[in-house]
Structure 1
Amino acid sequence: MAIKVFISKGSATTTKQREFIDGVLHTLDVSGLSPRIMFENEWSHEQPLTAIKKVIKECSGAVIIAFERTIIKEGFELKKDGKEDLANTTLPTPWNQIEAAMAYSYGLPLLVIAENGLKSEGLIEQGYDWNVYWTELSVEAAKSESFKGFLNSWKKSVVEFHSRPSKELSDPGKLTVAQLLRVMNIPQLWSLFAAIVSLLIAVATFAYKTGAGKWPWG
């Protein structure tokens, strides 16, 4: 079964945006991954944040496709040391930031793809646990060797995340004996066996001494 990855994207409003999204999704498909998109192949009667959280928890990676959604012709941003001119600034959908933060909070590897010219801020900027892949929006860009290389590097982290023990198994208090034995490696099993044998010997010795020289099984 293909590994599920969550897709965060705004609604495409131009042919260029639609073609780029289709190109990215196709590249993910041929890489053996299953893109999950809210209200396209994932449906829920619940409010968006609740539904998104549940879908993200079922995925092993997240792809953030950020492209122009808002254009600021004139304006500025107030900062502690002054103002930043925002004239002709372009911003993606705020859902990119929300969904990226949710995916990151669950430890999912992020593949952040951003259209050249977007304002670099929040999770769509350098300096976090991932590099942003800045690109022009075109079918050729989605099929380029550089993008495939970037994606394959991220996919390795996705596969590693997918192969980890489940959250339930990572909580020792919820493990059954069978689950515990499955997640232990050979040296750990030998250590456990040695500890059990040592404990049995100690109990038997104590019973022998307190039983007037008689072994407990005699």
Structure 2
Amino acid sequence: MKQNIFVSKPNGLTDSQEQFWKKLEGELTSRNLEVRSIGYSDYSIKTPLQQVREVMRECEGAIILGFRQKQIQTGVDRNENKISDLYLPTAWNNLEAGMAYMLNLPMIIIVETGVAKEGIFDAESSDRYIMESNLAPSWIEGDEFLQPLNEWREVLFDSRSQKTT
């Protein structure tokens, strides 16, 4: 029986992000995991937040993909420190990660190299392991990714066993 997993990712992807996502999706599918994502597998007339909540309640784990979505070429932060070439992920990553956290779903967090280490992607604020990738599809074939993925898959399997006993 397949296990539902929620994937937090933007719907608009660059070519390299799309290649990475397709490779990742193949790895997930090969492990009998069903990808659930708003605007990808699930559509509704409900508000996105309502839909995320409903879909996520049907999932046993979550993957947060922090892909580059916006670039700040030059700017300042609240302390008037200069910022340059800062990439931001979709704000939905933090909303969806927070919801997954509140549902106690096991999470994998992957952030694209160069994305700001804020919110769920800040290792000092998170109690989850954060993997960083340059989005080369070959990264998904390496131990740096496959070992944590397989460990996470076992946690999903164990949590399903505990729910059925």
- TM-score per shorter chain, which class? over 0.9
**Deviation of 1:58 (Å):** 0.5
Q: Tell me the distance in 2 between the aligned counterparts of 1:83 and 1:154.
A: 40
Contact 1:116–1:135 (CA<8 Å) still a contact in 2?
A: yes
Pairing 1:53-202 to 2, within 5 Å after superposition: 53-78=53-78, 82-127=79-124, 128-165=126-163
In the superposition, the TM-score normalised over structure 2's length comes to 0.92
Structure 1: which amino acid aligns with 2:83?
L
Q: Encode CA deviations 1:62-84: one digit per residue, 9 max, x unaligned.
A: 00111110100111111xxx333
Q: Tell me the distance in 2 between the aligned counterparts of 1:76 and 1:112.
A: 27
Partner of 1:5: 5
Q: Tell me the distance in 2 between the aligned counterparts of 1:155 and 1:145.
A: 15
Partner of 1:204: none
Q: SS at 1:160's partner residue?
A: helix
Partner of 2:46: 46
Contact 2:70–2:89 (CA<8 Å) still a contact in 1?
A: yes
Q: SS at 1:104's partner residue?
A: helix
Contact 1:23–1:143 (CA<8 Å) still a contact in 2?
A: no
**Deviation of 1:142 (Å):** 2.0
Question: In proportion to residue count, which structure has more strand?
Answer: 2
Distance 1:26 1:87, change over 3 A: same
Identity of aligned residues (%): 28
Q: SS at 2:84's partner residue?
A: coil
Structure 2: which amino acid aligns with 1:157?
V
Q: Tell me the distance in 2 between the aligned counterparts of 1:11 and 1:102.
A: 19
In the superposition, the TM-score normalised over structure 1's length comes to 0.71
Runs (4+) of structure 1 moved beyond 3 Å?
A: none
Return the index of the structure with the highest Cα Rg: 1
Contact 1:108–1:161 (CA<8 Å) still a contact in 2?
A: no
- Consecutive unaligned residues of structure 2, counting only runs of 5 or more, are none
Size of the aligned set, in residue pairs, is 164
Q: Tell me the distance in 1 between the aligned counterparts of 2:69 and 2:158.
A: 33
Contact 1:111–1:154 (CA<8 Å) still a contact in 2?
A: yes
**Deviation of 1:126 (Å):** 1.0
Contact 1:76–1:83 (CA<8 Å) still a contact in 2?
A: yes
Q: Tell me the distance in 2 between the aligned counterparts of 1:17 and 1:156.
A: 27
- Consecutive unaligned residues of structure 1, counting only runs of 5 or more, are 167-182, 184-218
Q: SS at 2:77's partner residue?
A: strand
Contact 1:60–1:159 (CA<8 Å) still a contact in 2?
A: no
Q: CA RMSD in A?
A: 1.5
Structure 1: which amino acid aligns with 2:48?
P
**Deviation of 1:144 (Å):** 2.1
